């Protein structure tokens, strides 16, 4: 059995998601203690419960401590099974974070897994669903994963209501060493629900102008929808780098576009091959893949360090982290 101290590193949900996913893949029981003890609302949150409950379901796992506010979780999986499932995270719980723990396990299932997930697609403190659609999942496909993702409906805070369907085939992963790409074109999506049409245009136009001032062309799709919650956002990407921002009451629409553009520009200016968000999410997949993987990132985040620590506990795979030419190289031999 693996023992994980949930207060170490980033000390939040990332430890839980990575640990139970690798527990499922390896068949190794795990006990996570001190779960989120330094957070304002310590212990397992509603979001973490939904992810752990679903992994327990598809692995017939023995679990202890699977309740709201629990600071300790024991998870002992059996065989990972495929099938068709519907999951409702409730309210605006993040679909992206739910999928973070599901995808690694599903790649090692006995059969194809198809799941329709209801919840939030564009909510605070989590990757927007477009990050998975245009950054993470394309990277995993490059590694050999057979994954299809379809955004059926967007969901914003507070009611959620988003709907995403994912199909994952059992897949063998190979190493991943992306090249550093030049910037030919930035693509993006500006989206809004139950807001005037000028909001998505102002998001996009401010981002386009900021990029064009630096000589960078962009193509941003406008997406106007009417869902159960009001909200807006913009997602920009080029290669394996991205920038995003969400609208808020009282926040000018132009500020949303500028925030996303500036976030992407910071990544594009770095001597790196992936952005800081993709880097930490790739760590479990790099560890599970056959062969060598190497990425460079502009800085090491707590999430990345935490994922490396959890992965090394389960898989005895050692990562090398080296600073080089204004970036940080992360290598799995």
Q: What residues are annotated to the active site? A: 303
Can you say whether the dihedral through the CA atoms of 278, 279, 281, 287 is positive or negative? positive
DSSP one-letter code for 108: T
**What is the full DSSP assignment across 122-188?**
B-TTS--HHHIIIIIHHHHHHTT-EEEEEEEE--BTTTB-EEEEEEEE----B---PPPPP-S-EEE
Q: Using alpha carbons only, what angle is made at residue 331 by residues 326 and 333, rounded to the nearest 5 degrees?
A: 155
Whole-number Å distance between alpha carbons of 260 and 246: 9
User: In this structure, what are the phi and psi dihedrals at residue 190, rounded to the nearest 5 degrees?
Assistant: -110, 125
3-state DSSP assignment of residue 211: helix
Q: How far is CA 107 from the centre of its chain?
A: 16
Residues in the chain: 333
Q: From 313, 254, 288, select the one nearest 103 (Cα to Cα).
A: 288
Beta strands in the chain (DSSP E): 2-5, 30-33, 62-64, 73-76, 83-88, 113-119, 146-153, 162-169, 186-193, 218-225, 231-238, 241-246, 293-297, 320-324, 327-332
Our measurement of the distance from residue 248's CA atom to the centroid of its chain's CA atoms, rounded to an integer in Å, reads 22
């Amino acid at each position: 059995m693996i023992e994980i101290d949930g207060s170490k590193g980033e000390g939040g949900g990332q430890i839980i998601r990575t640990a139970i996913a690798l527990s499922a893949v390896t068949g190794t029981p795990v006990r996570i203690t001190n779960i989120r003890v330094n957070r304002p609302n310590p212990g397992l949150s509603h979001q973490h419960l939904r992810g752990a409950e679903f992994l327990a379901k598809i692995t017939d796992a023995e679990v202890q401590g699977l309740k709201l506010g629990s600071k300790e979780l024991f998870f002992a999986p059996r065989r990972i099974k495929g099938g068709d499932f519907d999951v409702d995270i409730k309210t605006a719980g993040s679909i992206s974070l739910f999928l973070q723990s599901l995808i690694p396990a599903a790649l090692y299932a006995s059969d194809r897994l198809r799941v329709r997930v209801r919840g939030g697609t564009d909510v605070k403190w989590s990757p927007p669903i477009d990050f998975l659609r245009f950054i993470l999942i394309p990277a995993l496909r490059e590694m050999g994963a057979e994954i299809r993702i379809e955004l059926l409906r967007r969901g914003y805070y507070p009611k959620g209501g988003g709907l995403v369907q994912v199909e994952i085939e059992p897949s063998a992963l190979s190493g991943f060493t992306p090249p550093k790409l030049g910037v030919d074109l930035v693509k993006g999506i500006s989206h809004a629900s139950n807001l005037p049409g000028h909001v998505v245009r102002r998001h996009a136009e401010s981002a386009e102008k900021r990029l064009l001032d630096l000589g960078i062309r962009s193509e941003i799709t406008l997406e106007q929808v009417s869902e159960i919650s009001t909200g807006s956002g913009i997602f920009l990407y080029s290669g394996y780098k991205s920038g995003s921002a969400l609208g808020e009451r009282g926040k000018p629409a132009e500020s949303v576009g500028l925030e996303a553009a500036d976030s992407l520009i910071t990544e594009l200016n770095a001597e790196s091959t992936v952005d800081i968000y993709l880097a930490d999410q790739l760590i479990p997949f790099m560890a599970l893949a056959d062969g060598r993987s190497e990425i460079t990132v502009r800085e090491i985040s707590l999430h990345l360090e935490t994922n490396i620590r959890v992965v090394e506990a389960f898989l005895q795979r050692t990562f090398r982290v080296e600073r080089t030419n204004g970036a940080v190289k992360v290598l799995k031999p």
